[in-house]
A and B are shown apart, each in its own frame.
Chain A
Amino acid sequence: MKFSLIKITYLLLSFLLIPVLSILNPIWFSLMGVQPYWPIFWLLPWSILNGPLNGLIIGFIIGIILDSLNNDIYTQIPGLLICGFWFGQIGELRDRYQYGLIASIGTLICGLIYFSQLLVNNYPNNPYWLLPFGLKNVFGQILLTGLFAPFFSKLLYELFGNNVKHNLFKK
């Protein structure tokens, strides 16, 4: 992946959207109050283009940023590390809708890891009451991330990739 000034601008601006959207929680993307898992949209094309090691590093960085935003005892880093590494090993995706499938599986991994932390932390209090809440969040995020990934991740892939013309508005 060669870096030009315009590509770096795309990268930075789209990267900044991850924490912004995580805080903003735009209601028009939500389902029953659940939002898509925003970091996956960015991590997927980045890791596909730059390989597992870069995916791992960026997954770690995004995890740190999101953990600092949410400021609780649970962490999103393990899920994003696994996703970053795994996405890096997939290689190029031919079909647009494969982005949706891969993003959904990545969201499932991240969601289950986060939910398991909640369960373990509340284990002494018999946390059966967390199950409906956790399952709703996990499956809500899977559905929404899978729905939007073919558009967002594919768009970012083209913006980050070598085969894109840097000025999208110029014919």
Chain B
Amino acid sequence: MLNNRRITTARWWNNKKLWFLMIFLLLITFLRFSKSLIYRDIYYFISKPLWPGQFQREILLKSYDKELNIKLKQLEKDNLRLRSLLSLKKTTDKLKIDSSVISRNTGSWWRKIILNKGARNGVNVGDAVVGPGGLIGLIEDVSGFTSSVKLLTSSESKVGAWVQRINTHGLLIGVGNDLPMLVFYSKDIDIKVGDVILSSPASTLLPPNIPIGIIESINLDSDPNTIANVQLLANPQAIDWVQILKSKI
């Protein structure tokens, strides 16, 4: 009995100091090879209440907005300079004339509206007219006090358009109903219902990048060009106030 106890006590795994030493060595090894990840995680939880708060976040966001605005102004300047080099149309906020609709003919042969601003207010033939939502037409003729707008839905209307998603040009043709027809110059066009249509950035008739409408349906069977119907963003039947964008080359 006595002999047995002696032998048992002498085993190495019964040595508590040895166990402590082994665990310590393992911990050191883990810490060495974990590259102090555990320290950082512990630091994460300890320092969490002391992080930069919402106030600092707002400051950062405002700084970011300012940075983007500066970039935008710079790009606008570049854009205007390049457009003037190419002799394309341009507009600025200073060249907008607010006007109200005094006559509306949106359903018969002549799809046009008459505005209460004319040559005396500086309106010229060819100026673009936008309503809430986007482009509705171009000034067709001007009298002293009024001007007549040829709507995009008129069968006589043809303007260049730009599909933003696929960077492709098309020709927007009025067909006398409320859905003008967008004709592309080639057959293989990756166009989808819902694509946004803007005025063409290369147009010499219209100021660039004015929203026009969205693709409502596509006629893939048409030959030789792909044809789509466009739902205008601005509805001329319901518009009472418009803006005339005075364009200058």
Contact = CB atoms under 8 A, between A and B. Distances in A.
A118 B155 CA distance: 9
B243 interface: no
A114 B109 contact: yes
A34 B103 contact: no
Interface residues of A, number: 22
A71 interface: yes
Interface stretch (A6-14, A24-32, A99-107): A24-32
Interface stretch (A45-53, A125-133, A151-159): A125-133
A164 to B, nearest CB: 33
Contacts of A114: 109
B103 A71 contact: no
Interface residues of B, number: 19
A95 interface: no
Interface of A (DSSP majority class): helix
Given A30-B107, A34-B107, A23 B114 contact: yes
Nearest to A138: B109
Given A33-B108, A133-B175, A134-B176, A23 B103 contact: yes
Contacts of B105: 25, 35
B140 A35 contact: no
A24 B108 CA distance: 13
Given A71-B148, A130-B176, A137 B103 contact: no
B141 interface: yes
Among B108, B110, B114, B175, the most chain A Cβ lie within 10 Å of the Cβ of B108
A129 B107 contact: no
B150 to A, nearest CB: 9
A137 B107 CA distance: 8
Minimum-distance CB pairs A-B, first 5: A33-B107, A133-B176, A129-B175, A25-B105, A34-B108
Interface of B: 103-110, 114, 140-141, 148, 155-156, 175-177, 181, 237
Interface of A: 23-25, 30, 32-35, 70-72, 114, 118, 122, 129-130, 132-134, 137, 140-141
10 contacts: A25-B103, A25-B104, A32-B107, A35-B107, A70-B109, A118-B109, A122-B155, A133-B177, A134-B176, A137-B176
